[in-house]
Amino acid sequence: MRLLLVEDEDLLRAQLVKALEDGGYIVDSSQDGELGLFQASEFSYDAAIIDLGLPKLSGIDLIKAIREAGKVFPILILTARDKWTDKVEGLEAGADDYVVKPFQIEEIKARLNALLRRAAGFAKPVLEFAEISLDTSAKTLSVAGEEIELTAYEYKVLEYLMLHPGQVVSKMELTEHLYDQDYDRDSNVLEVFIRRLRQKLDPDETLKPIDTVRGQGYRFNVPPKNQA
């Protein structure tokens, strides 16, 4: 998951970047509103965290500009102002949730998770497809009730695919959203992850949860349990 973080406080930005990267996100950060808007329009993000008090372009104006540019990714507001008037203004401008400073890093992660999940159309933190269930808050996978160990990268790949069920996700898209820009984009690595995921999810090769669409990418094709 690639995130955009716009925060002008250097220390806080560094803390957040570190915490989010530790949590498995790819983070692009900028220290003012104008740079933030440039990044939001140039790159493809899964979510953004935006501080309201920003230099050059205020957080509210940045959110409005992002929404006017047709970007629909979820936006989480960071604000030191905890008055309802301010919260309502931010949410009306197009943000989806807010966190009041000071905050616990864990809270930001939880809110982000919820936003990403909701943006993909899931109402609950556990994504359930037939026997497969992925708990996005605990970051655990279970198949037929049995917990299965995943490495951080395997989890990221699977979560991204499961948040876009039935859609063909290109290797390029996966790489962009799951790895840092300077990461060596050797597609073999992805293939290795996919192969390992297939083995872990479906050792008997009865379910075949991940299709390879030749020349285009991968698709998670298990029908959702009940309704998503």
Partner 1 sequence: MSLPKTKHKYSLQQRLVLAFGILLILFLSLTGLVLDQAYKQSVEAAVEERLQLQIYALLGVAEPDFDGSFFVPDLEEARFNQLDSGLYAFILDENGHEVWRSSSSLNINLAQLNLLLLDIEPGLTVFGNAENELQGPMSYAAYGTYWANLDRIFNFVVMESVAPTEAEIREFQSSLWLWLGGLAVFLSLAQFMLLRWGMTPLKQLAGELTDIETGKKEQLGEDYPSELQALSQNMNMLIKSERQRQSRYRSTLGDLAHSLKTPLAVISGIVQQKKRVNKNDLADVAEQVERMNQIVSYQLGRAVQSDQKRVLASPVAVEPVIKKLGDALHKVYLDKQVNLVIQLETESFFYGEESDLTELLGNLMDNAFKYCNETVHVSAREEDRKLMINIEDDGSGVPEKQRHWVLERGARADTHHSGQGIGLAVALEIIGSYGGELKIASSALGGASMQVIISRN
Question: Which residues of the chain form contacts with partner 1 (CB under 8 A)?
Answer: 82-85, 87-88, 91-92, 96-98, 100, 102, 114, 118, 123-124
Please give the full DSSP string across 138-167, using - where no structure is assigned: TTEEEETTEEE---HHHHHHHHHHHHSTTS
Measured distance between the N- and C-terminal CA atoms of the chain, rounded to whole angstroms? 20
In whole angstroms, how close is the CB of 129 to partner 1 at the nearest point?
A: 19
Q: Which long-range contacts (CB under 8 A, 24 or more apart) does 133-137 make?
A: 133/225, 134/158, 134/159, 134/162, 137/110, 137/113
Q: Is residue 78 a contact partner of residue 51, using CB atoms and an 8 Å limit?
A: yes
In whole angstroms, how close is the CB of 84 to partner 1 at the nearest point?
A: 3
Token pair, residue 202, equals 């479906």
Task: Between 11 and 123, name the residue whose CB sits nearer to partner 1.
Answer: 123
In whole angstroms, how close is the CB of 117 to partner 1 at the nearest point?
A: 9
Task: Between 71 and 118, name the residue whose CB sits nearer to partner 1.
Answer: 118
Task: Between 102 and 215, name the residue whose CB sits nearer to partner 1.
Answer: 102
Amino acid in the structure at residue 87: K
Please give the full DSSP string across 58-88, using - where no structure is assigned: -HHHHHHHHHHTT--S-EEEEES---HHHHH
In whole angstroms, how close is the CB of 66 to partner 1 at the nearest point?
A: 16
In whole angstroms, how close is the CB of 113 to partner 1 at the nearest point?
A: 11
Task: Between 98 and 160, name the residue whose CB sits nearer to partner 1.
Answer: 98
Task: Between 28 and 89, name the residue whose CB sits nearer to partner 1.
Answer: 89
